[in-house]
Amino acid sequence: MKRKWLAAGTGLVSALGAVLFLGAGQTQEEDVASGGEQESQSQPIQFPHDTHAGQFRIDCQYCHFSAERSVDAGIPPVETCIGCHREGLVAGRTHPEEVAKVREFFESNTPIPWRRIYKVSDHVRFPHLRHVAAGVSCQTCHGQVQEMGVLESVAPEAGDLKMGWCVSCHLERGASRDCTVCHY
Amino acid sequence: MSGGMERRGFLKAVGAGGAGAALAGCATDKVESLIPYVTAPEEITPGVATWYASVCGECASGCGIRVRTREGRAVMIEGNPDHPLSKGGLCSRGVAALQGLYHPDRLAAPRRAVAGGFEDISWDEALDALAERLGGASRALFLTGRQGPAEGDLLNRFVEAVGGTRLTFDPLDDVALRAAVDIGFGVKALPRYDIASARQLVSFGADFLETWLSPTAFAADFAAMHGLDHGEKGRFVFVGPRLSLTGQNADEWIPARPGSEADIALAIAGELVRNGTSAGPYTELVAGRSLAAAAAAAGVAEGALAALAVRFAEGGVLALGPGLAGSHGAAAAANLAVLVLNAAAGNVGETIHIPDAPDREAASPHGDLVEALSMMRDGAYGVAVTAGANPAYALPPAAGFREAFGAVPYKVALASVMDETAAMADLVLPVAHPLESWGDSEPAPGAYAVRQPVMSPVPLFDSRATGDVLIETGRRLGHDFGAASLREHVRAAAETRLDALGVSAEDGEVRWHSLLRTGTAAAAGSAASGSPASASAPAARRALQAPNTAAGFGAPALEGAGDLALLVHPSARFGDGTHADRPWLRELPDPVSKIMWQSWVEMNPAAAERAGIRREGEIVRVSSEHGALELPVWFSPGIREDAVAIAMGGGHENHGDFASGLANDNGVNPMTLLPAAADEQSGALSLVSVRVTVSPTGAWERLASTEGTRDAQHHQDDRRIALAVAMSALGHGEEDAGEHEGGHGQLQELQEGGGFIPVPTEGRAADFPLPGSDFGEYGQEHPRWAMVVDLDKCTGCSACVTACQAENNIPWVGERETQNGREMHWLRLERYYETVDAAEAGPLDVRFLPMLCQHCNNAPCEPVCPVFAAYHTPDGLNAQVYNRCVGTRYCANNCPYKVRVFNWYRYVSENVKEPLNWQFNPDVTVRDNGVMEKCTFCVQRIREAGNRASVEGREVRDGEIRTACQSVCPSEAIVFGNVKDPESAVALAAADERSYRVLDELINTQPAVHYLKKATFHDVDEGGH
C-alpha cells in the first residue's frame, strides 16, 4: 500500500514536467555535425542577435515568423538564413566560418539543431500571438536581444521564468490571472 | 487503508512529491533542441493547426472527415460538414482511425516467410517477387475488400491484365439485400434510403445506427426524422429478437422470433393490399398472408402486428432491413419481403430509391467464395493475393479457408498489421493507412468525394498504398495503367468525374484544389437539361418485377438441438473484428452492454435462470455442433428468452497485441460456433443459423463494465438522472425551472459565508456569479460557458466518448483496471432500461445520457480541495489545475456525478507505446499518475478561439467554439456556447420546456450542463414537473 502512495507522489513530478532554463555554459567551438541532442552547452552556430536585430535592425518577426499569429514564435527554417547568406550574397564579415556552417546545413538538407533557451513547463501555455497583440515587446520577456551576441542563457529581464514573474506582469497590466488562462 | 498506511504517512508522501515538484520547477540537466525546417512547407505554421478534408477509410461507408494536423502530424479527426452523407458526423471507429495510423504493431517493412518466421525485405525485392509470380503461368486469385471507385477500377484493370480472378470480401456488406433488389427490381445494387423524409420508421432488425450500410449518415437522418421538432417527432418501431443499439432507440419493440421478418412484412403488406394498394406481382401472394399466422410465427400478439399495419396504412412509414441481423438461411427472401412491403406502402421512389446502375463494388456471395476455396484446394491457383481482407479470421473455421489458402503455393497479403491471413502468407506487403493515401468515393449519385493524404507516411512504417503497389508491379510486368502513381490515377479519375458532374473547369488547378479543400463536389445545378448532372435527380421510380423463381418466403431452419438461437452480430466498436486492435475502441464501453475489453454472451435473465445461471459475469459454456466457447454472461432485458447473442470482433490470434491477447483478454470469436452455411438465393453467409446450449461452468469473472447498477434490469431506479416526458405533456405552457429569475436568496447568503451547502433553490446557469460573490475577476462581463444535450436526439452511439479521448490525451487503462472501475473517460454514455419487455410487443423506453463534468456553478468538488486545484474560473468553468493537484481525491469523493477520474498508475507512460503518442494533442497537457482530471469543456478550444478573437479585436462568435464531443455527434445532440448571451444557440436551447439539470433539484449544484428530456409517445412517470 505504501509503495502505491509513494508512486503517486513521485508521479506528480513527471506530470509537472520541468521549466528548462539552461545555465550559462561556456561558448566553445565544436563540430557542426555533432550539435544534436547531446550534452552540448553551446549553440551549433554562433548566431549574433546583436548583428541581425541590432546593427541591421531586422525585425524579430522576419525570422520568428509566426509570433503574431501563433502560440509559437517560430524558429526560422534554414532557408530563411540562406535568403541572405546565399553563396555570392552576405558572407559574414567577421565570422565567415559561421556563415559557411549555415550553408553546409542547407546544402546537406539538415536542420540546425538549435539549443533551446526559453521553455516554460509542459503544463504552461504561452500564446505568443496574444502577447504580441497586446503590445508586449519581445524584449519584455526576452531581454535586449538586439544587444546580445550568441544566446546562451535566459535574459535577466525574464526573471526566472517562474509563475510569479508571469503573474506580476499580468497584475500590472490588468490581464487575467485565472489559472486556466495558462494551465490546461 | 488496510495496508497500514496512516494518514500522517500519506501526507508525508504527498509532501515529498510536492517538494520534488518544486525542485523540478527550478532546473534540469536535460538539453532540448529546437529543430527548424530546412525549407518550410508553406501550409504549416508552427503552433497553428492545419485541417485537411478527406474520406474515412475505416469501413466502406466513406464518411467525410476533416483531419486536424499539427506540425505535419494528424492529431484529431472530426466529421466534414460539407459531406452530403455524413454531414459532419463521425463514429468512434472513424475517430479511432488515428490509432490505426499510429499503431505500434503496424508492419515496418515488407516481409518474406522463411523457415520459422518472417524476414524483412526491401520493397524492390518484394515487388520483384510478386511480379515474378504474377507473370508466371499459374492463375492468380485476388481476394480484396471493397474499394473506392478509382482504386477499384485500378484493381480490376490490374487483375484483368495479369489474367487473374477477383473476389470481394466484406463481411459487413449486405449481400442478401443486394440480391433481393436484383430479384425485385432487376438491378444488383443497394437501395438508398431517405430516412429523414420518412414519417415513421420500422426496422426489421437492421442495425442502421451501428454498422448497416452507412450508420453515421443514417444517424443524422434519424435525428431529423425522430428528434422532437416543434412538438412532433416520427415514431420508430423495432422488430427483431434482440435490441441492438439501434433497437434501443425505438419507441416500440416487437420482439419477433429470429427468421420471422418475412412473415411479418408480407402479412402487413397483405393488410395494405386488402386496403386497396398494390404490391405488383406479389399482390396475390401477400393477399393470402394473414396477421394471425405471422403473429404465430413471430411469437408475438396479433394485435401488435395489426397496430403496425394501421401505421403503414397511414402512409409515410419506411421499412428497413433486416440487415445482417436477418442474415439467415432465408435472408434474400426476408429482404425481398421488406421490399415488397415498401412497395405496397408506396415508398419506392419516395423514401427508398432503387439505383439505375449496379453497385461497382459489392461483396462476393459466399457461394462464389466456396467455389474459389475448392479451386484453391485443387491447386487451380498458383498465387492468392489478399488486400484489405482478413478471411482467415472473419470466416467461420468450418468454411475451411485456412486449409484452402494454405494449399496455394504462393500467398501474398497486403495488410497493415500481421493479421491472421497475413500470418499465413509467403509475402506480406505493408499497406499505407487511408490517412496516408489517395482515393475517392461516390457518397451519393451526383456527389463525389476525394481522399487525400493528411500527412506524409509515418516514417517508422515503410508502407505503400495498395494502388501504388499495383502500379509498380504492373510496371514490372509491362502493364501501363496510364498513371505513374496512385495520386495521378486518382486525380485523373477525379477530373473525369468532375467533368461528368458538370463542375465548371475554367481552370483545372483551381477546380482540383477546391475539391481538395472541401473534400467533396456535387453536381452543378441540375436544371441544366441534358447534362449528365441530371444524375442528381432522384432515381426513376421502379416497379417490382415478378420473380423468375417462385419465391418461397419460408422460415429459415436453425441447425442443432439446443433451445437457444445464436445471434451473431457485427460489433458497433469493432465491425467484423477489423478494429479490435485499437485500444480506444477496446476500452470504449459497448453501447449496448457497457462492457469493455471482454467478450460476453447476451442473455435474458429469465433464460439464464432456467439454465441455472445465477449471476452476471458467470462464465458459461456456449456450444453448437461446430464448437464451444467459454465466456462471461451479461443479463439483458433486451433479448428474447429463446435467443442469445455474441458480438463479432473477439478472439483474434494475430492482428496486433491489443487484439490477440498479448496485452489483455482477447475475447472469443463467435464465428467458431457457426457452420459455413449460406442463404441459397443470395449466397449471403448466415450469421443466424444455429441453436446452442448454454451451461454454467461454475467460474465467475468480474465484468469490466461502466454500469453502476448490477441488477439485471439495468434500471435507474428512482434516481432522476435520464428523464423523459410524454409528448402529450409537452406544449402546455408549463412553467420551467429555467425561467425563474432570482430566488437565490438562501444560496447567496450561504455563498457569502463560503462553501457548498446543499439547499434547494432555483436558478439559471446564466445568473452566476451571483451578486455578492462577484469579486476580483469574477464579474458579469465574462461569458458563461454552458452545454445543452438533447436526449431525444442522442442515440447512445458513443462517438463523443472516443472523440473526447482523442482530443484530451486521455489514456486507456486496460482490462484489469477497468474491472477495478478505474477507466479514465471524461465522458460516460449512461444507458438505462426503463420500459422494456422481451415477452410481448409494447412501448420501449431505453434512455441514454452523456455524463460529463457538469461544471456546476455551486460545485461540491471545489470547496473540498485542500490545495485549490479544483476551482471555478470567471467564465464559469469548473477547472482542474493539474500542477496544483496532489491527488487527495477528495473532489472525486464529493462529486455526485462521478465524473472525476484519477490516474492511479502510469497509464500514459506505460500504456502509450511509440508512435501512438504521436497522436497526442499538443494543446493539452499530458497527465500522468497521481493527478485528478475531468472534462474541461475543451478549454484549449475555448482559449484558442479567445486568442484568435482577441487578436482580431472582436468577441468570440456564437458557434465558433465546438467541443470535441459536439464536433463528431452525428445527431447534433450537443450545443455549446455562452449561456449569458440570450441570443446564443445554447441559451435558446437551455430555455426549452424539456430542459432540466441532473440532480440539481436535490442538491443545488447549479450545473452548466442542461439536458433536454427525451420525448416519448407513451406516458412516463417523470413527465412534467
Contact B777 A116 (CB under 8 A): no
Instruction: Specify if A144 maps to a domain.
Output: yes
The reported pLDDT for the residue numbered B549 is 61
Whether the pLDDT of residue A32 is over 60: the answer is no
Separation between Cα atoms, residue B281 and residue B597, nearest integer Å: 50
Q: Give the contacts of B693 (CB within 8 A, at least 6 positions apart).
A: B561, B562, B563, B564, B622, B623
Chain B segment 864-903 residues within 8 A of A by beta carbon are 871, 873-875, 877, 879, 881-887, 903
Residue B835 grid coordinates: 420500459
User: Which residue would you say has higher pLDDT here, A9 or B339?
Assistant: B339
User: How far does Cα B67 stand from its chain's mean position?
Assistant: 17
Taking contacts as CB-CB distances below 8 angstroms, the residues of chain B near A15 are 882-883, 927-931
Contact A75 B34 (CB under 8 A): yes
Topology, domain B175-353: Dimethylsulfoxide Reductase; domain 2 (3.40.228)
Whether the pLDDT of residue A35 is over 90: the answer is no
Q: What is the mean pLDDT of residues B897-919?
A: 94
Instruction: Specify if A162 maps to a domain.
Output: yes
Instruction: Specify if A92 maps to a domain.
Output: no
Which range among A3-7, A173-177, B321-325, B926-930 shows the weakest confidence by mean pLDDT? Answer: A3-7
> Of B258, B352, B342, B270, which is closest to residue B305 (Cα–Cα)?
B270
- Three-state DSSP state, B68: strand
> Of A123, A165, A164, which is closest to residue A142 (Cα–Cα)?
A165
B201 strand-pairing partners:
B236, B318
Whether the pLDDT of residue A14 is over 50: the answer is no
The reported pLDDT for the residue numbered B339 is 96
Domain count, chain A: 1
Separation between Cα atoms, residue B722 and residue B835, nearest integer Å: 13
Binned at pLDDT 50, 70 and 90, residue B3 comes out as: very low
Whether the pLDDT of residue A15 is over 80: the answer is no
Q: Give me the sign of the Cα torsion angle A156, A157, A160, A161.
A: negative
Longest Cα–Cα distance in chain A: 70
Which residue of chain B is at minimal alpha-carbon distance from A104? B38
Instruction: Specify if A120 maps to a domain.
Output: yes
Touching check for B33 and chain A: CB below 8 Å? yes
Chain B: closest CA distance from residue A95 (Å): 22
Contact B38 A106 (CB under 8 A): yes
Which range among A30-44, B310-324, B570-584, B720-734 shows the weakest confidence by mean pLDDT? Answer: A30-44
The reported pLDDT for the residue numbered B712 is 73
pLDDT in tens, B81-119: 999 999 999 999 999 999 999 999 999 999 999 999 999
Taking contacts as CB-CB distances below 8 angstroms, the residues of chain A near B883 are 15-16, 121, 123, 183
Contact A36 B874 (CB under 8 A): no
User: How far does Cα B840 stand from its chain's mean position?
Assistant: 30
Taking contacts as CB-CB distances below 8 angstroms, the residues of chain B near A183 are 881-883, 925
Packing angle of the helix pair B302-314, B261-274 (nearest 10 deg): 50
The reported pLDDT for the residue numbered B834 is 92
Which residue of chain A is at minimal alpha-carbon distance from B10? A5
Touching check for B943 and chain A: CB below 8 Å? yes
Which range among A169-173, B999-1003, B1019-1023 shows the weakest confidence by mean pLDDT? Answer: B1019-1023
The reported pLDDT for the residue numbered B760 is 52
Closest residue to B40, CB basis, from A12, A77, A115: A77
Binned at pLDDT 50, 70 and 90, residue B553 comes out as: confident
Contact B45 A78 (CB under 8 A): no
Instruction: Specify if A87 maps to a domain.
Output: no
Element (H, E) at A9: helix A2-16
Q: Determine whether B950 is exposed, middle or buried from the number of CB atoms within 10 Å of its CB (0-12, 13-18, 19+).
A: middle
Order across the sheet with B50-55: list the strands. Answer: B50-55, B64-70, B73-79
> Around Cβ B10, how many Cβ atoms within 10 Å?
19
Contact B939, B876 (CB under 8 A): no
Residue B453 grid coordinates: 493524404
Taking contacts as CB-CB distances below 8 angstroms, the residues of chain B near A66 are 45-48
Q: Which CATH class is domain B564-700?
A: mainly beta
Instruction: Specify if A119 maps to a domain.
Output: yes
**CB pairs A-B closer than 8 Å:** 216
pLDDT in tens, B741-767: 344 555 556 556 555 555 555 678 888
Which residue of chain A is at minimal alpha-carbon distance from B782? A176
For the domain spanning B51-101, the CATH number is 2.20.25.90
Q: What is the mean pLDDT of residues B377-381?
A: 95
Domain B760-1012 has CATH 3.30.70.270: no
Taking contacts as CB-CB distances below 8 angstroms, the residues of chain B near A68 are 951
Contact A109 B38 (CB under 8 A): yes
> Around Cβ B929, how many Cβ atoms within 10 Å?
24
Q: Give the contacts of B138 (CB within 8 A, at least 6 positions apart).
A: B381, B382, B383, B409
- Residue with grid cell 504462393, as numbered in its chain: B410
Same fold flag, B111-172+363-523 and B760-1012:
no
Binned at pLDDT 50, 70 and 90, residue B548 comes out as: low
Beta strands in B779-864 (DSSP E): 785-790, 828-835, 842-843, 845-851
Domain span holding position A144: 42-75+114-181
Cis bond leading into B281, ω under 30°?
A: no
The reported pLDDT for the residue numbered A6 is 34
Contact B31 A116 (CB under 8 A): yes
List the domain boundaries for chain B: 51-101, 111-172+363-523, 175-353, 564-700, 760-1012
Chain B: closest CA distance from residue A130 (Å): 6
Chain B: closest CA distance from residue A110 (Å): 6
The reported pLDDT for the residue numbered A37 is 39
Q: Give the whole-number percent of chain B exceeding pLDDT 90.
A: 80
pLDDT in tens, B501-524: 988 877 788 999 999 999 999 887
Taking contacts as CB-CB distances below 8 angstroms, the residues of chain A near B2 are 1
Contact B190, B213 (CB under 8 A): yes
Range B111-172+363-523: architecture per CATH: 3-Layer(aba) Sandwich (3.40)
Instruction: Specify if A85 maps to a domain.
Output: no
Contact B978, B984 (CB under 8 A): yes
Contact A180 B873 (CB under 8 A): yes
The reported pLDDT for the residue numbered B9 is 34
pLDDT in tens, B811-836: 999 999 999 999 999 999 999 999 99
Q: What is the DSSP letter of B86?
A: T
Q: What is the mean pLDDT of residues B886-906?
A: 95
Whether the pLDDT of residue B290 is over 60: the answer is yes
* CA dist list (Å): B849 to B22, B596, B830, B942: 41, 18, 5, 24
Packing angle of the helix pair B291-298, B261-274 (nearest 10 deg): 160
pLDDT in tens, B592-604: 999 999 999 999 9
> Of B271, B263, B256, which is closest to residue B314 (Cα–Cα)?
B271
Element (H, E) at B878: strand B878-880
Which range among B30-34, B51-55, B720-724, B1003-1007 shows the weakest confidence by mean pLDDT? Answer: B30-34
Residue B899, φ and ψ in degrees, nearest 5: -115, 0
The reported pLDDT for the residue numbered B662 is 74
Whether the pLDDT of residue A129 is over 80: the answer is yes
The reported pLDDT for the residue numbered B12 is 33
Element (H, E) at B432: none
Chain A segment 99-128 residues within 8 A of B by beta carbon are 105-106, 109-116, 119, 121-123, 125, 127-128
Chain B segment 748-787 residues within 8 A of A by beta carbon are 777
The reported pLDDT for the residue numbered B147 is 94
Separation between Cα atoms, residue B976 and residue B718, nearest integer Å: 29
